[in-house]
Each structure stands twice: as C-alpha cells, then as structure tokens.
Amino acid sequence: MSYRARFRCINPQCGATYPLNSLVYHCTRCGSLLEVEHDLNALARRGAAAWMKLFEDRYKSNEWPYGSGVWGKKEWILPEIALENIVSLYEGGTNLFWAERFGKVIGVENLWIKLCGNTHSGSFKDLGMTVLVSQVKQLIAEGAPIKAVACASTGDTSAALATYCAAAGIQSIVLLPRGKISLAQLVQPISNGALVLYLDTDFDGCMALVQEITKDETIYLANSMNSLRVEGQKTVGIEIVQQFDWEAPDVIIIPGGNLGNVSALGGGLEMMKNLGIIAKLPRIVVAQAERANPLYRAYLRNFESFEPIHAEKTLASAIQIGNPVSVEKAIRILKQFNGMVEQATEQELADAAALGDRTGMFNCPHTGVALAALIKLLKAGKIDKAERVVVISTAHGLKFIEMKVQYHQRKLGFPSRYANQPLELPARLDAIKEVLHQALEKNRQFHA
Amino acid sequence: MSYRARFRCINPQCGATYPLNSLVYHCTRCGSLLEVEHDLNALARRGAAAWMKLFEDRYKSNEWPYGSGVWGKKEWILPEIALENIVSLYEGGTNLFWAERFGKVIGVENLWIKLCGNTHSGSFKDLGMTVLVSQVKQLIAEGAPIKAVACASTGDTSAALATYCAAAGIQSIVLLPRGKISLAQLVQPISNGALVLYLDTDFDGCMALVQEITKDETIYLANSMNSLRVEGQKTVGIEIVQQFDWEAPDVIIIPGGNLGNVSALGGGLEMMKNLGIIAKLPRIVVAQAERANPLYRAYLRNFESFEPIHAEKTLASAIQIGNPVSVEKAIRILKQFNGMVEQATEQELADAAALGDRTGMFNCPHTGVALAALIKLLKAGKIDKAERVVVISTAHGLKFIEMKVQYHQRKLGFPSRYANQPLELPARLDAIKEVLHQALEKNRQFHA
C-alpha cells in the first residue's frame, strides 16, 4: 500500500499545496506557514489494530531504521523517503518515568514524566531533526544543489542540527550575535563541526540573515518555520499513548515558547484519534515562564486576541520568546484539546525543578516550568488528583549545570527552597558519625 | 522454575559463599573480593532459544520492570528479588550506533559505538546502580537497619548512586576531599539530595573512612568492591550481542580504570557462552590512558606480574587509577578472551574524541581513549579492518563540557588537531556569502 504526504498552507483561505521535495518554508502564495498533510484515507484503510501491531513490532527493534521511535512510525511521518537517506540516531523510546515520590509530595498519584532529554543530543529536538536532515539527504540524492543546512539558534536546535548533519556528512551553519553566547553554550555545534558565524547584530538580525542566505537554494533552512521538524516531534504524543498500552492520559503538560512543540503534540494525538487508535483526546496544558507569557495572556482573554510581548530574561532560556512563530497552530490545538495555559515565576520554576531532582529526576528549567504549572493547577482544582497526568521533560539537566550550581549556592536572587550544600568536616570517624546521626534524623521526614 | 544466586569469594583456595542478603563486601574468611554466582544448571534447563525469546519479548516493553535492559534479564541478575523492591529508571536499550563516517576516516567498515551514556544519569553506571539500590531496598523491606548508602567518588558513581537513592527515597552519602572538587562537578549528587561531606583529607583518606563508617550496618557501602553492581553492568555485553541478533562481534573495546567494568563485560559474555547463546567469545580490548596504565604495563609482561603505579593527572579523569580494585578478575577475563591492552596519550585521546564528535558522536574523554586505542591497533594490524568492532562509550559528553571547550580553544597544552572555532563577521549578506563560499569549498573534502 502506498502512502503520501505533501506541504499544505495552514491558511484555510489559501490551502496551497507543494510536494515535500520543494524548497519552500512559507506559502509562496500567501506567506503563511506550511504543515505536512497526510493522505488519511489511505492510512485509514490499514485499520487501527494493524497500525498498533506494526508500531509494537518495530518499537526499539534491531531492524534499522524502524527501531527509532520516529521511523518506527515512518508511514505517518515521511512515507515516501528512501530508507538509505534516513539519518537516525535511534530517537525516542525514552523513559516514561512514574514520578511516585514527587507525586506524593504534591498530591497526585498517577503522574508520569516523559524524559525526552535522555537522548543523543540531550533534548527532544532530536525527534524533529532526524526528519529534517533525512529529507535534506533525500533532496541531495535527488540532485538538489544543497551544500549546507543553516539555523539561527543558541540552544538545542543548533545542537541537534549539528549532530545530525555530522552523522550525515552534511555541513551545518549556525548564525549568532557576537559577544552574547559563550563557547560553553555552543560546545555541541562546535564539537559537531558546525560553521559558527558570530555576527555584529542581535538575535533578530541573525534570524533575518539566515532567512536571506537560505533564499539561495544551496543553503537549506532548519529553523522552526520548517514544518518537517513538527512531523518528527509529533511522535512524542503517539509514544506516550503507546507506553500506556494505547490509552491516552487525561492531561499532558508541555513547556511552550515558540509553540511548534504544542502543535506537534496535538497533531500526533489528533492523527491517532482520526485513525481510530484513541477514542478521547487528553487535555493539553501549555506552561510558560511568567517573564515570557504571551500565550498565557491570550488564554486569559479566551484567545479572543493575541498580542506579541517583549520577553524578559528567564532561567527557562529556550522559551524566552515574546512572538512565537507557531502561535496560530498552537491556539487551534488548545481549543480543540480543551486546553489550558499556566505560568510560573522564576522561583516557582527553579523550586519545582529542584524538588523534582530530589525525587530522582534531573530537570532542565523548562521542565521546572511544567512541574510548577502542575502544582498550581492542582492547587486551583483545575487538574484533579485522580487524573493521569504526563509532564513532558524537554531536555537533559546536564545542559543546565550552571543554573543548578547557582540554585544550590543560593545565588539566583530569590530563596532556593530546596538548596543542598556540602558539609565541611574534620576527617575523624567520631565527627562524621555525629553529623550522620543528626542528618539522618533530620532527613527521615522528607524520605518517609 | 526457581533460580538462585549467592556471593562467592573470588579466591579459588577459599571459595566461601554468603547469601545475597548478607551485609558483606569482602570475604570475611580470607579478605578477597566477592562475586555473584548463579545456579547455571538451573538456568541451563530453560534452553538458549527460550532465553533469547524471553529477552526479546521484554526488550524495552511496557511491562514494568522488564522493559529495563537490566531487569529484562532479571533471572541472570538477581533472580530472587521481589518486583516491588526494584528501583529502575529504564536502564539500557541504548543506541548501538553504526559509526559509518568515523569508520571510513580510520579505515574500518563494521564499527559500532555502544552509547551507554545516553541514559538517566548520563553514564553506564546506571546499569549497576539499579541492582545495588534495588537490593538495598529489599534488605530494608526484610528488616535490615539500613538508613543510608555511602560512597567515596567524585564522578559517575556518586551521580548514579544519588539518582537511584532519590528515586527510592533512601538517603545517599558522598565522602570527598575538601577543596579539590567544585560544586559543578558535584551538581548531580547535590541536586539529587545526597549528603555530601567534604573532609580534611585526600581521596585515599575518604576511601578508608567510607569503609569505616559502613562497618556500622546502618550505612551500606556502594563503592566498586560491592559486586552487586557488576551484575547489572554485565548486561552491556549481553545487550550488544542481542542488538546484533544474537551474534557476538569480533572485538569489544572498553576503557579501563578500576576494571570492574571489564570483569562485568566478560562475565556477561561468558554466561551467554555457557548457556549456549553464543558459540565464540569476542576479543576484549582494554584501553587505558598512558598516564594511568598499570594494566597496560602488566600486559607487556604477559601478565606475569602486576605492579600498582602512581597514576598521573589525565583528561580521562574517571580512569585515573593506579591500583585498580578489580585487577585480578580483569586479568582472568583478558586471558580467557584472548584480550589485548592498548594505551593512549592525552593528545591521542583528545583528538580521537574530537574526530568522533565531527562524525556525529559527542564523546567523553574515556570513549576518546577507546577510540584512540582502536586507531592504534588498526595501524599495528592487531585488529583487522574486516572485523566487526564495538567500542563501549561510557558516559555522555555533556558531562565534559569544560574539556571540550578547552580543546576547541587550543588550551590543553598540546595541538588540537580537530579544533573548530567561531568566525567573527560583520552582519552583511555579502560578507557572509563570501565566507560561506570559501568555507564550504574547504570543508568539501572532509565531508565527501
């Protein structure tokens, strides 16, 4: 059976379509974003049970590339790509961690953390980047004159892009404002051989320039207006349902900045419902930092209007975005999924991340935002303690060591409620035993 | 069917045995290390095909805890533990990455990297720590008076211990020399709520004190003389064979310091051979840093004698060990597996790690030692380019950002052959295009 997909303009008044091998990032007719549209009628002919069986059989299997959580769902992602062009680093299949201890502390029993950061480049961006770089490899194989793939990004996107390009043998390019980003923050793209350009401008200037240079068809654009990445990222929702033996949870909480991940999450779940795999949709909750909360503000206005804001500096640096690229798609998804938006202050996100760490996680600050939102929604009665809740953890805490050190040194400018610091002692057995005796008594309550 | 395991003294002249719920770390009769001995006759009654089928069915499955790469092999690990005492973070099932591009550069086609660092705490230590902490939870459930688990470690061991203890709700304790270890190096145990004691002594002093305080049965010892951890770590070899559809590779290269991982690797493979799953054993190669190479020196003497040395400071900090705890077991394994030992200088390990990064990996320095050893053994004709080779990557590169930054800044005191640095440019399209044109021409050769 043959399955097909193409780009479609998200503007319903336009609806222009383009083949997936076109070098387009926006609709050339009306300028809107594009999304990948699948032939659902063809997919429906296979039947829900057969899809579930196929996905189960492939899950983490040795049959390359189907052991990848993304490519195990190839027909739903990029059905027409040739296997030899797939650039995969065994994405997905990450732990859906039962947060038993954290849940007890905050009063919810059925709480699960989807650890998307336990992966090759350390963030959920791998899920989307494998699709984008594979499609680029396919385009090159078909004769497109692409010599490199470029993005303007300080964080997980540039890391994932550089890693996948390095594995594929394709040059990656990263554009950044000079003097603002340290080499330590860039160590992944630098190590993975990216060509990093420090430019005499700000971040918006870099974004404008990357769109300029990728008008030339020899440089392909990897920023999040490229809708191929959404196709890979949508597997996160599908995989969560699969890990619950094909039952949808009640609530999924996801941190939101540029909001491409929200439409991806919703898109995957919607596809499962349309193809008869799940009967009901979970609620989707978007968690924002209070300092970068344009979607939260629009939510308070029942989404009657959306106003971009100037995002202030936040520890949750990857979601410090005032004018999200994918806001339209995200609002559509939230309306459809009976969604909510919650926000977290700097202290709330840092404390929630640290409390999670004490119970066995190792959170990035964005996961902290999502955990803090959960705590607030539970207190407000907007999430019931009997519900099955999933929090999407977007990156590995090892990417945020500096913030964690400052938290435990109480240097973040607000009280660190769960700070932990070493004790200094003489090297004598009696002194150690005395301290241990006291500390173990004190800790007993927390650990009980 | 019921399977059993117990501790046995590794000294063949002694051979004392102890039940697994004894609080012993050394043989109380002769002082030697212990190992876990399984009832192979009972295991053999099940048959090789049935074991393979069972392990396949459980691999990464949703049936807790069998989806873990360790607990999917529970009968071979800790057969008698109660499921409710297992503390698992979905260990194993990590990518066996086909290093196509790296292999092409160094001239070997069938090269695979087992990425054991793509995991919860970021290193292969998770494999062993899940077993140790689960056994502690079982001991507590059976009434043992254990209040905490302690180790003297600066690195991956303390990180893994603190994480698993945090998930289990058991207090962890880490003993360290004061003034030598920064909070950044300790951010994992600090975040995971460990009680960190900075003592007025050196590392050997901390090791002596941790053994003293764990003589008290309320504090359990987690350092590598505890042989429970080996049981979990031995799954790495089993999993590699499973990922090759139950075929052993020709060569497995592993970085070696304290050498517990070498006996673990060998132990798992040996068990597979004894139970009829593989017919031949792979060669095992231990890779050491030249600055901490006591096993390499003994290898040059055909293992006729072993002399501890004073290990010098090396970038491969986790294997900077001059007097390895598990040397006896490791030499026995190397003799049995037709083993080799190779060493790498600081420059060799750093360049090999960086070359690996350029081809899509993100290596820790210990993986760099193993990759450098491979390059040297290929050149010397001791590994054939037609052989199927696996390199065990022990930790995620995100744990070694400082070293990577220094490498690319050329600050390590030797030439950095694969250094990559940002280019500074004015924010003008023509200037960017000019630079891209030159750079893409220059890079073409490497990427071709």
Number of continuous H segments (helices) and E segments (strands) in chain B: 17, 14
Name which of A204-213, B162-171, B385-394, B438-447 the model is least confident about. Answer: B438-447
Band of the pLDDT at A177, cuts 50, 70, 90?
A: confident
Which residue of chain B comes nearest to A402, CA vs CA?
Answer: B184
Within 10 A of A332 (CB to CB), how many other CB atoms are there? 15
- Location of structure tokens 């899809």: A51
| C-alpha gyration radius of chain B | 22
* Nearest chain A residue to B60, by CA: A60
Q: Tell me the C-alpha distance between A20 and A85, whole Å.
A: 14
CA distance B388 to B282: 10
Closest-CA residue to A322 (of A226, A234, A204):
A204
Q: Does A158 touch chain B (CB under 8 A)?
A: no
* Six token digits for residue B14: 């002694």
Residue of A nearest to B120 (CA): A118
Question: Measuring CA to CA, which residue among B140, B141, B130, B138 is closest to residue B165?
Answer: B130
Nearest to B37 by CA among B74, B73, B68, B8: B8
Q: Provide the shortest C-alpha distance from residue B14 to chain A (in Å).
A: 32
Handedness of CA B204, B207, B212, B215 (dihedral sign): negative
Query: Do the beta carbons of residue A354 and residue A418 sit within 8 Å?
Result: yes
- Cα–chain center distance at A26: 22
Among B64, B98, B184, the residue with its CB nearest the CB of A405 is B184
The amino acid present at A298, given as its one-letter code, is: A
pTM of the model: 0.97
The H or E element containing residue A253 is strand A251-255
State how far Cα B381 lies from the chain centre: 27
Tell me, what's the ipTM? Answer: 0.96
Q: Is B432 on the interface with A (CB under 8 A)?
A: yes
How confident is residue A155, by pLDDT bands cut at 50, 70 and 90? Answer: confident
Contact (CB, 8 A) for B353 and B363: yes
CA atoms within 13 A on the CB side of A211: 11
Measured at the CA of A120, the angle between CA A160 and CA B63, to 5 degrees, comes to 130
pLDDT band with cut points at 50, 70 and 90 for residue A448 = very low
Does residue A166 sit in helix, strand or coil?
helix
Torsion sign, CA atoms B402, B404, B405, B409: positive
Provide the angle, in degrees to the nearest 10, between the axes of the packed helices A327-336 and A260-274: 40
Per-residue pLDDT band for A256 (boundaries 50, 70, 90) equals very high
What does DSSP say about strands B111-115 and B96-98: parallel, antiparallel, or unpaired?
A: antiparallel
Mean pLDDT on B273-297: 98
Beta bridge partners of A97: A113
Cis amide prior to A65 (ω within 30 degrees)? yes
Q: What is the pLDDT of residues A284-322, one digit of tens each?
A: 999 999 999 999 999 999 999 999 999 999 999 999 999
Q: Encode pLDDT of B110-142 as tens digits.
A: 999 999 999 999 999 999 999 999 999 999 999
| CB proximity B48 to A under 8 Å | no
- Judged by CB atoms closer than 8 Å, whether chains meet at B424 and A243 is answered as no
B247 touches chain A (CB under 8 A): no
User: In chain B, which residues have their Cβ closer than 8 Å to the Cβ of A196?
Assistant: 420-423
Q: Please, what is the average pLDDT of chain A?
A: 95
Mutation pick from A87, A191, A198 vs chain B, by most beta carbons of B within 10 Å, is A191
- Helix A346-358 to helix A401-408 angle, to the nearest 10 degrees? 90
Mean confidence (pLDDT) of chain B: 95
Kindly determine whether residue A101 and residue B167, on different chains, have CB atoms separated by under 8 Å: yes
Does B307 lie at the interface with A, CB-CB under 8 angstroms? no
How many whole angstroms separate alpha carbon A191 and alpha carbon A120? 14
Q: Which of B140, B398, B421 to mutate to test the interface with A (most CBs of A within 10 A)?
A: B398
CA distance B148 to B130: 15
- Shortest Cα distance from B310 to chain A (angstroms)? 23
Pairing of strands A17-18, A148-151: unpaired
Distance from CA of A335 to the nearest CA of B (A): 31
B213–A432 CB contact, under 8 Å: yes
Strand, helix or coil at B210? helix
- Confidence band for A444, pLDDT divided at 50, 70 and 90: low
Which residues are bridge partners to B176 per DSSP? B198
B80's tokens:
């008698």
B37 CB neighbour count, 10 Å cutoff:
17
Q: Does B90 touch chain A (CB under 8 A)?
A: yes
Residue of B nearest to A120 (CA): B118
How high is the pLDDT of residue B181? 78
Whether residue A279 lies within 8 A of chain B, CB to CB, comes out as: no
Contact A93 B89 (CB under 8 A): no
Where do the DSSP E strands lie in A69-167? Answer: 96-98, 111-115, 148-151
Q: What does the pLDDT read at residue A446? A: 54
Which of B124, B164, B187, B358 best probes binding to A when mutated, by most A CB atoms within 10 angstroms? B187
What is each CA distance from A8 to A25, A28, B134, in whole angstroms?
A: 11, 11, 52
A132 C-beta neighbours (distance < 10 Å), count = 28
Residues of B in contact with A175 (CB under 8 A): 432
Residue B124 exposed, middle or buried by CB count within 10 Å (0-12, 13-18, 19+): buried
Residues in B touching A98 (Cβ below 8 Å): 64
Q: Where are the beta strands (DSSP E) in B272-409?
A: 283-289, 340-344, 389-393
For range B20-37, the mean pLDDT: 94
Please report the pLDDT score of residue A175 as a whole number. 94
Q: What is d(CA B184, CA B202) in angstroms, rounded to the nearest whole number?
A: 19
The nearest CA of chain B is from the CA of A298 a distance in Å of 35
Cβ-nearest to B401 among A147, A184, A397? A184
Q: Has residue A249 got a pLDDT over 80?
A: yes
Confidence category of residue A277, pLDDT binned at 50, 70, 90? very high
DSSP string covering B273-286 = HHTTS-SSPPEEEE
Judged by CB atoms closer than 8 Å, whether chains meet at A408 and B97 is answered as: no
DSSP string, B129-175: HHHHHHHHHHHHHTT----EEEE--SSHHHHHHHHHHHHHT-EEEEE
pLDDT digits (tens, 9 = 90+) for A65-105: 999 999 999 999 999 999 999 999 999 999 999 999 999 99
Which residue in B122, B116, B57, B66 sits closest to B90, CA to CA? B66
Chain A within 8 Å of B436 (Cβ-Cβ)?
Answer: yes
Q: Does A399 touch chain B (CB under 8 A)?
A: yes
Mean pLDDT of B183-189: 88
At residue B126's C-alpha, the angle toward residues A237 and B338, to 5°, is 120
CA distance B173 to chain A (A): 9
- What whole-number distance in Å separates Cα of residue A203 and Cα of residue A189? 17
Closest-CA distance of chain A to residue B270, Å = 23
- Report chain A residues whose CB lies below 8 A from the CB of B423: 195-198
Bridge partners for A123 per DSSP: A395
Note whether B358 contacts A166, CB cutoff 8 Å: yes
pLDDT at res. B272? 98
Give the pLDDT of residue A439. 87
Nearest to B366 by CA among B393, B347, B348: B393
CB contact under 8 A, A426 and B200: yes
A357, A446, A448: residue with CB nearest B192: A357
CA atoms within 13 Å, Cβ hemisphere of B41: 0
Joined tokens for residue B401: 């950002």
Say which range, A428-442, B8-22, B38-52, B236-250, has the weakest mean pLDDT.
Answer: A428-442
Looking at residue A40, what is its pLDDT? 97
Contact A447 B170 (CB under 8 A): yes
The answer to whether B339 and B286 are in contact (CB under 8 A) is yes
Phi, psi of A278 (to 5 degrees): -125, 150
pLDDT band per the 50, 70, 90 thresholds, residue B444: low
Query: At A17, is the secondary structure helix, strand, or coil?
Result: strand
Task: Give backbone dihedrals phi and psi of B181, rounded to 5 degrees, phi first.
Answer: -120, 125
